[in-house]
Amino acid sequence: QKEVEQNSGPLSVPEGAIASLNCTYSDRGSQSFFWYRQYSGKSPELIMSIYSNGDKEDGRFTAQLNKASQYVSLLIRDSQPSDSATYLCAVNPPGGYQKVTFGTGTKLQVIP
């Protein structure tokens, strides 16, 4: 089982809709969870961090964490064409020095 799993997509949503991106992780003791956005040819950019169960909202973005189900998601409301990118889920496992593990990313396409 991969440590961090994401559907590779592409996920296509119409402009103005809600885009829902999902991620599961294998290490139950993981403590920190991140969503990065990566435009084609660019570097990953941190857009959300979440550390406790529940929802965390920042503008049009909402991160949701369910540690019991080992599941983290990112909702993008009122999706814009500029949101079209690959979204990487990253998880910080417990113990020792913190080695963040990245998923393979979900490609999001927002159709005008």
Partner 1 sequence: DTAVSQTPKYLVTQMGNDKSIKCEQNLGHDTMYWYKQDSKKFLKIMFSYNNKELIINETVPNRFSPKSPDKAHLNLHINSLELGDSAVYFCASSFLAGGSRNEQFFGPGTRLTVL
CB of 78 to partner 1, least distance (A): 25
Q: Looking at beta carbons only, is 82 or 97 nearer to partner 1?
A: 97
Q: Between 25 and 34, whose beta carbon lies closer to partner 1?
A: 34
Q: Which is nearer to partner 1, 18 or 100 (CB)?
A: 100
Per DSSP bridges, beta strands 32-38 and 45-50 are: antiparallel
Smallest distance from partner 1 to CB 94, Å: 12
∠10-77-52 over CA atoms, to 5°? 95
Per-residue tokens: 25: 């992780």
- Long-range contacts of range 42-50, CB-CB < 8 Å, 24 or more positions apart? 44/88, 47/74, 48/74
Amino acid at position 16, single letter: G
Cβ at position 98, least distance to partner 1 in Å: 5
Binding footprint of partner 1 on the chain (CB under 8 A) = 31-32, 34, 38, 42-46, 49, 51, 86, 88, 90, 92, 97-102, 104-105
